[in-house]
Structure 1
Amino acid sequence: CDRLGTPLLVKPALGYGSIGISLESVVESDEQVSKQVQRLVQGVHEMQFPPDSIFVERFISGREFTVFLLGDSQQPESLKIYPPIELVFHSSLPETEQFRSYDNFWGEHLEESSSSSSEPFYHCQSVNSDLSEKLCEISKRAYCALGGNGYARVDIRMDKDSQELFVLEVNANCAISSIPLTDFSDLNQTSLGTILHLAGIPFAQLMSEMISEAFDRYSTKSPLVSKSA
């Protein structure tokens, strides 16, 4: 904590649906770090995490965004970047609780927290054009740096003081559906569904673009792939 500063976030390197991340994952001391590491090693949310798959990073207080990309990083000029969205967390939540933990991801968060509200712990909204350009550029850079192909969703935080953008993760297997996030009562509600909904993009168009991109990528590699098929 002396070296990195506080608060910090203890999290597994790999996971889905915020598994392994709880409200207690935000820590303020080395003792709390050790406690959370042991908790993950022993097993949480029906998963166990080996010590070398756990890391600690600075907790970024501020706004959160997500961006969906489609295409081959070997052809960055051809990447399609869908309009970014912002996750606006419930105003009653403390700053250190304004993130997607397993508890709030699965609809239990506001019952646990100091808030008595029954409203969803966050909602999504579109992003203005100037900020959208910056989010698209940093998402593209992150996607290409990791050699992305097919599709991915990039999650980003903006530090509330410096306004600097930080990439939280490049999710190479994000959930795909046409259903936007509303009340979290349906497990088929997704961030991507929200992106499509706010941008007015039909789900069928996304599917068509994904299939077309796959054909474009593999038709040059395999004589067995034919678009006419």
Structure 2
Amino acid sequence: MTTAGSTADQPRKRMPRAERERQMLQIAEEIFSERGYLATSVDDIAERCGVSKPMIYEYFGSKEGLLVACIRAARAELAEVTTKAAVGANTPEEALRRGLRAFLTFADSHRRAWALLLSGEAAAAGPAAAEEVEAGRRQQVEIDVMLFRSFLPDAPQRALEAAAQVVVGACERLSLWYVAQEEMGADEAAEYLIMSLWHGLSGLIDRNNPSG
């Protein structure tokens, strides 16, 4: 028997919806990473979250909807960290290096999920997931164009967009290789990208900012 005022007599505090959603997304990312999207069931995720299967559907609509929400949350975080990384940079090279480090650090912190995301399995989940992955690429292109424009205000838009596409493509491919390496940090991986990319980008800068 419990005494008056004991915690056992008090109702369990209900988790706020936003907090519950974050928990579901975190656990879903873990399970998708461990087992792969196709081998993961909604029952698996509900069990580890400690919620009912209908609650997963209430929040996300479907397993693909849950994957889309995971991708959307990841790309929002990636946009934030890469944008903030370049703030205060004094030269284009410094801004690029900071952005690359932030991108690769993010990939490293989501190592298994990152490999899953870009492996093609996410695209196999359905058109909504495939579009969300592509939206992440477009978002990074837009961020890079803004960054380049801040240093090259008179450069042609098409040239900036082309450069941004190259940078995003190179980052994606190298990040897939990088997350499979056991003993490599983001700084080292970023330097490999700088070595490969800077020659072409510096040419764009020289053409559009001769005095710089």
TM-score, shorter chain, exceeding 0.5: no
Q: Which has the higher helix share?
A: 2
Larger radius of gyration: 2
TM-score, L = length of structure 2: 0.29
Q: Which has the higher strand share?
A: 1
Q: Which has the higher contact order (CA 8 A, sep 6+)?
A: 2
